[in-house]
């Protein structure tokens, strides 16, 4: 039983009576054969009620004790009561989270499907320029590379209950806004900089690249643990000439640090790379970009690293932390004896299956895990790791036959995330799908990824391989038997495509596609639907980031998910009213509870159904 429910019951006499009587009945039927005392007490309603009241009191006292141990320092009695507000305000005492679904992680779930299945407000019938548009926007202090996250019914001390949208910026700030209010004032904001003490964001000059401008702070998407009301975020800072990454655990209600955080990220791993010492490779924040979204799974946080534009002696790192203590629980390196092999996936996070196994793709670098004496460097591969008491261990992998050519020509497999599909009929029920800069789709058997097989010009170990897409820098999405791939990066215009999947195989060519309007956009689409009805594919066109300085405007698009050739809406149709703001890179739209959230270079824009007369 949650503390929020216990406190809400204390405020509702009828609920208190029902609960006590329920515990009394439980004691009677569950214990009557073991205790004559309980049986005797249970012979009258008043005595039955007394037994139940005693049991209820014990539960509430235990929950208050647990709350005191897990809340951030400085929490007080007012905060204790505030935690009960979402339940008390619901009338019945319990919030129906199925009715207002959260978006607590990148692309909606740990399978990274990108589908929001509880959208009952937005439909293909009402998403059009006459009825749908920008409602308001919130000013921000930097570029948004992270996907906005959404959590319903958060009790804010002293402010009541709010549906909260959280967004992080490259200025090392985290904002929480009331998603239903046009107020530009955040519910809370935290910033991890202190220029007077020499703590700043990184500059492009610090890392010898202009991939991220004008500053580098929070690049990855945070993750929210709804059970503990905690949002985890990794921030990069430069502190008096030294470089750091820190893992922060913030109270979702206030932004206060929790669990003794922040935790500086440091690690070593066995390796013989050029920069190793005494057989150990040390994590070096200066050369490691924390680009991939965070993963929270089975009580552990997973943080992955790549490079700043291939600068310096970097490797792909996965570092695991206990979600409650923030203590490191394991690490793994893609190229411990070599170099490169970053884990970036255009911002997608590591995926996780029901057994806690981890899946991700690795970018350019050396690969030598083959032959009579296989090595340990795993670039241009899809990797499967197993967490355990001793840390992280390699379970399986897939590497294309032409890995060396892909690495040479900068056609890395690691530019796209790995989506775990729902169980499929056919011989391979557990499938994963990904792509890469070479424009190939790889459908993989998660139970046997197949390793590396250099057998001519093919990959016989895959379930299916489809070529013909342009350079993919984004993560596919899944909904209702369709896999959606964003437009490719190309000097030519390209489309978003929908591939049906039947009996565990993708149908080819695509069943539908959008008009070819995207050129330089790094495209990860999202899907909203009410179960298997009213599907809408959402995309943000960011060509304006690359074609002008300062960046031109982003464009929000909505398509019928069953027929991508039917565009429902785009923000240029009512440009003055609906422009999201100046484009950022790798923008992923978030859909929740009738609203669409789009991060840009200086604001978070919120879209929804317009009021009459708008």
Range with lowest mean pLDDT among 69-83, 268-282, 473-487: 69-83
Chain center to CA of 124: 26
Which SS3 state, helix, strand or coil, does residue 269 take?
strand
List Cβ neighbours of 340 (8 Å cut-off, separation of 6 or more): 307, 310, 314, 315, 316, 363, 364, 365, 366, 379
Q: What is the pLDDT of residue 52?
A: 53
User: Does 499 fall in a domain?
Assistant: no
Query: Do you find a cis peptide bond into 262, omega within 30 degrees of 0?
Result: yes
CB atoms inside a 10 Å sphere around CB 281: 24
Q: How far apart are CA 1 and CA 7, in angstroms?
A: 11
User: Does 303 fall in a domain?
Assistant: no
User: Does 540 fall in a domain?
Assistant: no
Q: What is the pLDDT of residues 581-598, one digit of tens each?
A: 999 999 999 999 999 999
User: Does 410 fall in a domain?
Assistant: no
Averaged pLDDT, 457-467 = 96
Averaged pLDDT, 387-397 = 97
Strands 199-200 and 230-239: antiparallel
List Cβ neighbours of 367 (8 Å cut-off, separation of 6 or more): 377, 378, 379, 380, 381, 399, 403, 404, 407, 452
Total of domains in the chain: 1
User: Does 19 fall in a domain?
Assistant: yes
Strands 451-452 and 391-399: parallel
Q: What is the pLDDT of residue 548?
A: 87
Both tokens of residue 129?
A: 């320029």
Q: What is the pLDDT of residue 613?
A: 65
Q: How far apart are CA 174 and CA 140, in angstroms?
A: 10
Q: What is the pLDDT of residue 263?
A: 98
Q: How far apart are CA 291 and CA 145, in angstroms?
A: 9
User: Does 342 fall in a domain?
Assistant: no
Q: How far apart are CA 537 and CA 515, in angstroms?
A: 13
Q: What is the pLDDT of residues 41-99, one digit of tens each?
A: 344 445 544 545 555 555 454 555 444 544 444 444 434 433 443 333 333 223 344 34
The percentage of the chain sitting over the pLDDT mark of 90, rounded to a whole number, equals: 81
Contacts 24+ apart (CB under 8 A), 134-137: 134/571, 134/577, 134/578, 134/579, 134/580, 134/605, 134/606, 134/607, 135/182, 135/595, 135/606, 135/607, 135/608, 135/610, 136/182, 136/605, 136/606, 137/580, 137/581, 137/603, 137/604, 137/605, 137/606
Q: What is the pLDDT of residues 402-452, one digit of tens each?
A: 999 999 999 999 999 999 999 999 999 999 999 999 999 999 999 999 999
Q: What is the pLDDT of residue 490?
A: 86
Q: What is the pLDDT of residues 538-590, one digit of tens each?
A: 999 999 999 988 999 999 999 999 999 999 999 999 999 999 999 999 999 99
pLDDT above 90: residue 16: no
Range with lowest mean pLDDT among 152-161, 241-250, 378-387, 451-460: 451-460
pLDDT above 80: residue 476: yes
Q: How far apart are CA 534 and CA 540, in angstroms?
A: 20
Q: 408 phi and psi, to 5 degrees?
A: -65, -40
Beta strands, E only, 298-381:
300-305, 317-322, 328-333, 351-352, 358-361
Q: How far apart are CA 509 and CA 470, in angstroms?
A: 14
Beta strands, E only, 90-193:
115-116, 132-139, 149-156, 160-168, 173-178, 188-191
Q: What is the pLDDT of residue 38?
A: 38
User: Does 37 fall in a domain?
Assistant: yes
Q: What is the pLDDT of residue 7?
A: 41
Q: 267 phi and psi, to 5 degrees?
A: -165, 155
Contact call for residues 400 and 370 (beta carbons, < 8 A): no
| Average pLDDT along the chain | 89
pLDDT above 90: residue 102: yes
pLDDT above 70: residue 8: no
Which residues constitute the domain of residue 76? 3-88
Q: What is the pLDDT of residue 37?
A: 40
Task: Burial-class residue 128 by CB neighbours within 10 Å (0-12, 13-18, 19+).
Answer: middle
Q: What is the pLDDT of residues 170-180, one digit of tens each?
A: 999 999 999 99
Q: What is the pLDDT of residue 57?
A: 54
Q: Which helix (H) or strand (E) holds 27?
A: helix 13-31
Beta strands, E only, 279-345:
280-282, 295-297, 300-305, 317-322, 328-333
First and final C-alpha spacing in the chain: 45
What is the Cα Rg of the chain in Å? 25
Task: Burial-class residue 472 by CB neighbours within 10 Å (0-12, 13-18, 19+).
Answer: buried
Contact call for residues 243 and 286 (beta carbons, < 8 A): yes
pLDDT above 70: residue 608: yes
Q: Which helix (H) or strand (E) holds 537?
A: strand 533-541
Both tokens of residue 151?
A: 């959590």
pLDDT band at 491 (very low <50, low <70, confident <90, very high): confident
Q: What is the pLDDT of residues 283-328, one digit of tens each?
A: 999 999 999 999 999 999 999 999 999 999 999 999 999 999 999 9
User: Does 28 fall in a domain?
Assistant: yes
Q: What is the pLDDT of residue 260?
A: 98
Q: How far apart are CA 253 and CA 257, in angstroms?
A: 11
Q: How far apart are CA 21 and CA 38, in angstroms?
A: 14
Beta strands, E only, 240-381:
242-251, 263-264, 268-270, 280-282, 295-297, 300-305, 317-322, 328-333, 351-352, 358-361
Q: Which is higher by pLDDT, 223 or 10?
A: 223
Contact call for residues 478 and 526 (beta carbons, < 8 A): no
pLDDT above 60: residue 605: yes
Averaged pLDDT, 162-168 = 98
Any idea which residue has 């997973």 for tokens? 302
Q: What is the pLDDT of residues 106-131, one digit of tens each?
A: 999 999 999 999 999 999 999 999 99
Q: Which is higher by pLDDT, 598 or 372?
A: 598
């Amino acid at each position: 039983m949650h503390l929020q429910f216990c406190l809400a019951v204390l405020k509702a006499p009828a609920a208190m009576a029902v609960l006590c009587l329920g515990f009394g009945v439980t004691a009677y039927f569950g214990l009557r054969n073991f205790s004559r005392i309980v049986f005797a007490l249970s012979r009258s309603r008043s005595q039955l009620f007394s037994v139940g009241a005693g049991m209820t009191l014990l539960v509430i006292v235990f929950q208050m004790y647990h709350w005191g141990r897990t809340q951030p320092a400085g929490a007080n009695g007012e905060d204790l009561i505030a935690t009960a507000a979402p339940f008390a305000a619901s009338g019945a005492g319990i919030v129906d989270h199925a009715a207002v679904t959260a978006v607590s992680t990148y692309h909606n779930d740990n399978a990274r499907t990108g589908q929001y299945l509880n959208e009952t407000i937005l439909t293909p019938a009402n998403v059009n320029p006459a009825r749908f548009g920008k409602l308001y926007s919130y000013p921000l202090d930097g570029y948004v590379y992270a996907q906005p996250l959404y959590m319903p019914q958060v009790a804010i001390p002293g402010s009541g209950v709010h549906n909260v949208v959280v967004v992080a910026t490259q200025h090392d700030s985290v904002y929480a806004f009331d998603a239903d209010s046009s107020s530009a004032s955040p519910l809370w904001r935290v910033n991890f900089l202190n220029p007077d003490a020499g703590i700043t964001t990184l500059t492009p000059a610090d890392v010898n690249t202009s991939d991220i401008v004008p500053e580098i702070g929070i690049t990855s998407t945070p993750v929210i643990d709804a059970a503990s009301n905690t949002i985890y975020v990794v921030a990069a800072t430069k502190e008096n000439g030294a470089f750091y990454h820190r893992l922060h655990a913030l109270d979702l209600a206030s932004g206060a640090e929790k669990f003794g955080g922040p935790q500086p990220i440091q690690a070593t791993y066995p390796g013989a790379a050029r920069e190793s010492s005494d057989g150990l490779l040390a994590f070096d924040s200066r050369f490691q970009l924390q680009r991939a979204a965070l993963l929270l799974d089975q009580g552990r946080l997973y943080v992955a690293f790549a490079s700043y534009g291939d600068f310096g002696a970097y490797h792909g790192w996965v570092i695991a932390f206990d979600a409650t203590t923030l203590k490191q629980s394991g690490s793994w390196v893609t190229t411990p004896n070599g170099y490169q092999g970053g884990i970036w996936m255009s911002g997608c996070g590591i995926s996780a299956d029901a057994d806690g196994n981890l899946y991700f793709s690795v970018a350019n670098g050396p690969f030598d895990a083959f032959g009579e004496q296989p090595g340990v460097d795993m670039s241009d591969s899809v990797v499967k790791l197993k967490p355990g008491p001793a840390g992280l261990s390699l379970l399986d992998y897939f590497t294309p036959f032409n890995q060396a050519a892909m690495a040479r020509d900068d056609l890395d497999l690691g530019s796209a995330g790995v989506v775990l599909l729902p169980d499929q009929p056919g011989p391979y029920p557990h499938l994963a799908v990904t792509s890469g800069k070479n424009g190939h789709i790889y459908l993989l058997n998660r139970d046997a990824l197949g390793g590396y097989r250099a057998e001519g010009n093919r990959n016989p170990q895959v379930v299916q391989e489809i070529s013909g897409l342009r350079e993919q820098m984004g993560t596919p999405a899944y909904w209702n038997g369709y896999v959606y791939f964003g437009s490719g990066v190309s000097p030519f215009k390209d489309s978003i495509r929908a591939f049906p999947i039947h009996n565990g195989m993708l149908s080819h060519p695509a069943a539908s596609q959008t008009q070819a309007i995207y050129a330089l956009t790094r495209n990860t689409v999202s899907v909203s639907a009410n179960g298997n009805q009213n599907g809408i594919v959402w995309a943000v066109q960011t060509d304006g980031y690359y074609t002008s300085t300062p960046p031109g405007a982003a464009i929000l698009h909505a398509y019928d998910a069953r027929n991508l050739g039917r565009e429902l809406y785009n923000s240029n149709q009512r440009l003055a009213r609906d422009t999201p703001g100046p484009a950022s890179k790798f923008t992923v739209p978030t859909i929740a509870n009738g609203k669409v959230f789009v991060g840009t270079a200086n604001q978070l824009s919120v879209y929804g159904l317009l009021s009459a007369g708008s």
